[in-house]
Amino acid sequence: MHYFNYQGNELYCEDVPVERIAAEVGTPFYLYSASTIVRHYNVFTEAFADVDHLVCYSVKANSNLAVLKMLADLGAGADIVSGGELFRALRAGISPDKIVFSGVGKRDEEIRFALESGILMFNVESTSELSALSRIAKDMGSTAPVALRVNPDVDPETHPYISTGMKENKFGIPVTEALSIYLQAAKMDHIQVVGADCHIGSQLTSSAPFGEAVTKLMELVSDLDREGMEIKYIDVGGGLGIIYGEEAPPLPSDYADTILDAVGGTDKTLIFEPGRVIVGNAGILVTRVIYNKKTAEKNFIIVDAAMNDLIRPSLYDAYQEVRPVFRTEREEIVADVVGPVCESTDYLARDHSMPAVEEGELLAVMSSGAYGFSMSSQYNSRPRAAEIMVRDKRFEVVRNRETFDDLVKGERVFNG
Ligand SMILES: *Cc1c(COP(=O)(O)O)cnc(C)c1O
């Protein structure tokens, strides 16, 4: 569900024509629908209305301050994976006692920043990290609230690059070792065990792996309860998939049924870390056709957005629909939609069935709200795209397009 629809033959974001924004800000740009974000958040949290829960939005999916502020106002917490994300979350007004810190490689200064800020808990991924937390908390005269991120060894049936809960992945603590490490943690100074956590991957399109993972997590939680540990939070991570093309992911309500079934009734607080499902279909990338180029092999549509703007197609061979902003009757072709970057993997769509397009016309790359701008770079010295937010009839630039000066910010010539 999203608010990018044609009115007549012209694509709109809510009540604003995409073309009007392009005329004002230039291309390429990311375009977000505020009402879509709000709706997705509400549908997700309402699916768990009957249980005590906290939705910690996964900041890495889309970390624009405008997005974070909107979610903060709705009462969301944040799942962060770096000091930079903590900075953003706090800047956007997300309450520190709703922030969980995940990630396999937390550095000392990041841990210190999170302890100073008073976050809800650290999702700990190794014994080395536990020791670091204990050492730093001691140094600060404080105590680190922790959950262990357990790797349940469940196949999420998603792209291997975004699968995180199988035993060959770098993430989490093997479920078989978790109990003994919990027992160690409980005895450590300046560590307070408060939760149990898992996150098995991203873009999951069936519920079964979630059920399997949470069942394993709950077995561990009963062991911990038996050992007298006061587990207050059960964090089941994120990963619920969205529709890019032909997928049929579970609805949030179906996902909730699976999770609640696996949890089987508890007085603990459930924590969720959704990213993609909140923002993925709430954003598009708008780009302009520079050239049509036809070879013996292929139709290439060369556009002004590239892999530096949107890397999902190149990195994960991900499918995202590309459609013209103005819908007219025309011939259907099969084309590669490619950018100007000097890499053969620089494509936004490959062998894509779509209408033939004209040079200069606007295209929309759909479902670009998650892992779009947040994964973008300046590769090929391309200033990063602008980000625009729409609500109803209004639009605002929520991040300026970068300038050439931004490209060299902080650089200087060597005087050695
Ligand atoms: C990336 C990530 C998420 C969010 O995943 P989505 O698929 O976007 O919902 C949640 N938790 C952790 C630990 C992550 O690394």
Please give the pLDDT value at position 371: 98
Mean pLDDT of the region 240-255: 97
> 262 with 299, same domain?
no
> 120 with 265, same domain?
yes
Q: Which domain holds residue 246?
A: 103-272
Last residue in a domain, options 272, 304, 319 = 272
Atom of ligand 1 nearest to the CA of 60: 1
> 182 with 237, same domain?
yes
Structural domain count, the chain: 2
Distance 57 CA to ligand 1 centre (A): 9
> 254 with 301, same domain?
no
Last residue in a domain, options 272, 288, 323 = 272
Q: What is the pLDDT of residues 86-116, one digit of tens each?
A: 999 999 999 999 999 999 999 999 999 999 9
Buried b (16+ CB within 10 A) or exposed e, 14-36: bebbbbebbeebebbbbbbbbbb
> 217 with 288, same domain?
no
The catalytically annotated residue of 13, 56, 198, 342 is 342
Please give the pLDDT value at position 159: 84
Name the pTM for this structure.
0.97
Please give the pLDDT value at position 61: 98
* Whether residue 342 lies in the annotated active site: yes
Q: Say if CB 47 and CB 259 are below 8 A apart.
A: no
- Using DSSP bridges, classify how beta strands 299-303 and 322-324 pair: parallel, antiparallel or unpaired: unpaired
* Ligand 1 pocket mutation, candidates 37, 60, 243, 281, criterion most atoms within 8 A of CB: 60
The ligand 1 site (C-beta within 6 Å) comprises 58, 60-61, 79, 81, 102, 199, 202-203, 237-240, 273-277, 370
> 354 with 319, same domain?
yes
> 344 with 197, same domain?
no
Distance 102 CA to ligand 1 centre (A): 9
Residue 162 has pLDDT above 90, yes or no: no
Write the burial class of residue 183 (CB in 10 Å: 0-12 exposed, 13-18 middle, 19+ buried).
middle
- Provide the CATH number for the domain around residue 247: 3.20.20.10
> 111 with 251, same domain?
yes
Write the CB contacts of 165 (distance below 8 Å, at least 6 apart in sequence). Answer: 151, 152, 153, 154, 156, 171, 172, 198, 199, 200, 201, 209, 213
> 332 with 195, same domain?
no
CB atoms within 10 A of CB 76: 25
Last residue in a domain, options 250, 272, 294 = 272
